[in-house]
Chain A
């Protein structure tokens, strides 16, 4: 799948601009990004900030997709490697890689992605539910497939279910919180 143009920088303005644009009830603004060559998206309302990759402090004994923690303006934020979270093989982190800082139930979470591509507006009718036979390893983390036009070409964006992405157990590498006692 084509990954679209890679945005160089200044993505904060981009997302702020998109937030200002009043979303109507029938459309949803989606930030799109590349993970292992595929285009994924999250509603822009979930996004707090986009930052460049920085030194991440390793957290011992966590699941494999937990890269570690960063401090952002005094707050400790865990960072997940979205590629491993979605069961892709990890590839070297390039200069285009970014950390999406998203908010989930009042806590912040960082998601490492290969690149941020832009913001698209999807009408409600342009979103279909996730097909059961999806190439994504963890299909429960996908909430649907959105389609949008770039010029005359229809493109696809895999919409992530942030709740499922954020639902992991630090004591297991599998995701899905368990209740095993330490």
Chain B
């Protein structure tokens, strides 16, 4: 299903691109039509149309839209004949071109609205395409042996010039002669160093005068560091005008000699007779002029703004709810309260819909990042001389755009680690009885409001002992602690900056920076990261990420009279504790939770909050268990005010980097509360003595 989903998305993208190409093609055809009726068209426009159809052919081939490919192919032939002058651009030819655009549109809508499978529709479209292809060929082929191009209308052209012209250029030369234009040879010398700019300028000077038919290297000898070019220009302007136009470029202009002045006799164009193929004109469904592509590109910041508005609405809803609570407490207002409750409920539902609608718009598939990964893996594995097979699953899992972007760096570091530290080189692998080619499995899966991304390799696994040694050597861990450290804790050492199991740093990894980055980035996204490893068998990294960051659910708490919000995605559970539950280990407060030790953190101590007389520390406190990356900590708080949807706002440049605070939010009633940065608090509690017993 995942593959289908991805292909579907790719197909949709192709269809909207094809739509854009067709729109441009249609515009060009309209310009051609207008030009033709006024007696002459810009050959460049025809060239553009030709190129558009050419790229359509390539693209549709890539996506397996075969009807479009074969139609483009035949259309391309016709356009080629047109631009080479083998076929005259008659109203009938233009009609065919327009009809082709219409049929393309039908093919697109056929694929876009998923009727591609329906037999009746399919058949009808098939007939339309085949009919059109037949008629295109009739026109393109019938005219081919049309005429030998007329002699050069008396112009005496250098045979050495003529011999190097392409078929198209030769045709344009004839066209210019036929139109009664003068032919000029513009000779210009360019310095080797500045030829690009010089040529651009000359083109700019010539363009308004007429048509540049070709650029030829000059037959005259050039000096060492100069290139001399001859430009053949077709123009109806007199010589002196051309001379003055190219004066800035210091070009020499010569009008090509002409024997006779009389205009060349127009070549009788082979007017295509109304073809019998015309009878095949399909009288099927009218093609709507409406654009089929339903895609709109939107700046993500606009969505942020919308999200903010929704956030404000959520605050307003909270305000209304508290008004309702007041009404409810008054028996005389029971009737009013009931109807307000009804209205509020309806409003809430719509608001929720609006919110999830906007969230959905922000979602992009993780495949965007995974695609990058395969490139990275190919490159790194080649550098490391290891053979790696990358298996990807769940690329269609969707996450907030912002998170997907933030994920690409950590994932890249993880890949590097897998390849450099995890997967052994082929010889070692064979010796260990493993397949020569290493495997890295990347998979994503949605679980409720989270997405779990796992990266698994079948490499050597992580040697916890090595990690401990390195951490001790770096002074990040004292020897005593090292002796008692559990395996899980030891593995977590890999996320410390400067710890690497590799002895020598190289270009890929080994400096001990990578996993530090991974942890920091994942924590910033309010994500969790876990490592499991079996020595000799491989390592599995599990990253759990929230689906969105824009509006988050928060637990609103109070400590020492201050209100704070804790992102709910980092809250594991909350419980009530009494003083008896709390013990101290090395002067740090801890409690026992289901058999394991939970370090405790007092926010009021950490933040140096003064307690007023009205807000004494209570005997019974709530413990909010927060988990971040590998650590879990219990925050001791006075009161739990409940869950609330909040919009986290940045503190701005002045307060950037305020430790322990991720941002602020408006809670309603003009009250502003700080949103705690759980990652930083937890980290701080482990690195300092902030958790000491009071």
Contact = CB atoms under 8 A, between A and B. Distances in A.
B654 A109 contact: yes
B654 A60 contact: no
Interface in A65-103: 66, 69-71, 74-78
B657 A76 contact: no
Interface in B624-680: 649-661, 663-664, 666, 670-674
B562 interface: yes
B608 interface: yes
Interface in A29-73: 54-55, 57-62, 66, 69-71
B607 A78 contact: no
A125 interface: no
Interface string A146-173: 0000000000000000000010101100
A130 B137 CA distance: 88
Contacts of A70: 672
A76 B652 contact: yes
B652 A71 contact: no
A61 B664 contact: no
A171 B660 CA distance: 12
A69 to B, nearest CB: 6
Interface string A106-118: 1111000000000
A69 B664 contact: yes
Given A54-B670, A57-B674, A182 B661 contact: no
Given A61-B659, A71-B666, A78 B654 contact: yes
B650 A74 contact: no
A66 to B, nearest CB: 8
B384 interface: no
Nearest to A108: B652
A41 B659 CA distance: 33
Nearest to B676: A60
A175 B650 CA distance: 22
A70 B672 CA distance: 6
A54 B672 CA distance: 11
A78 B672 CA distance: 12
B308 interface: yes
B247 interface: no
Contact of B658 (A55, A62, A74, A106): A62
B263 interface: no
B280 interface: no
A182 B657 contact: yes
B609 interface: yes
Contacts of A57: 562, 664, 671-674
Nearest to B673: A57
B655 A61 contact: no
B670 A76 contact: no
A168 B674 CA distance: 20
B255 to A, nearest CB: 60
B312 interface: yes
B174 to A, nearest CB: 62
Interface in B208-233: none
Nearest to B311: A74
A60 B606 CA distance: 9
Contacts of B663: 76
B97 to A, nearest CB: 53
Interface in B523-564: 562
B656 to A, nearest CB: 8
A58 B654 contact: no
Contacts of A106: 653
A103 B312 CA distance: 24
Contacts of A109: 654
Contacts of B661: 59-60
A78 B655 CA distance: 7
Interface string B613-628: 0000000000000000
B664 A71 contact: yes
B551 to A, nearest CB: 14
A174 to B, nearest CB: 15
Nearest to B656: A170
A46 to B, nearest CB: 15
Contact of A71 (B607, B650, B659, B672): B672
A140 B450 CA distance: 51
Contacts of B654: 78, 107, 109, 166, 168, 170
Given A57-B672, A59-B658, A61-B608, A107 B653 contact: yes
A159 B653 CA distance: 24
Nearest to A168: B654
A54 B609 CA distance: 20
A61 B658 CA distance: 8
B651 A76 contact: yes
Contact of A61 (B650, B660, B673): B660
Contact of B651 (A60, A69, A105, A168): A69
Nearest to B649: A76
A58 B312 contact: no
Contacts of B671: 55, 57
A170 B658 contact: yes
Given A57-B674, A182-B659, A74 B666 contact: yes
Contact of B652 (A61, A62, A77, A182): A77
Contacts of B651: 69, 76, 78
Contacts of B650: 76
A66 B653 CA distance: 14
B556 to A, nearest CB: 13
B653 A61 contact: no
Contacts of B664: 57, 69, 71, 76
A132 B609 CA distance: 39
Contacts of B609: 58, 60
Given A58-B562, A61-B660, A78-B654, A69 B666 contact: no
Contacts of B673: 57
B609, B658, B663 — most chain A CB neighbours (10 Å): B658
Nearest to A57: B672
Contacts of A182: 657, 659
A169 B147 CA distance: 84
A49 to B, nearest CB: 15
Contacts of A74: 308, 312, 649, 666
Given A61-B658, A76-B664, A182-B659, A69 B308 contact: no
Contact of B674 (A59, A66, A108, A166): A59
Contacts of A66: 655
Nearest to A56: B672
A71 B606 CA distance: 25
Contact of A59 (B308, B649, B655, B657): B655
Contact of B672 (A76, A107, A170, A171): A76
A73 to B, nearest CB: 10
Contacts of A77: 652
Query: A-B pairs with the 5 shortest C-beta distances?
Result: A60-B607, A57-B672, A71-B672, A71-B666, A78-B654
8 contacts: A57-B664, A60-B606, A60-B660, A69-B672, A71-B670, A78-B651, A107-B654, A171-B657
Given A55-B672, A62-B655, A76-B651, 10 more contacts: A57-B674, A60-B607, A60-B608, A60-B609, A76-B649, A105-B653, A107-B653, A170-B655, A171-B657, A171-B659
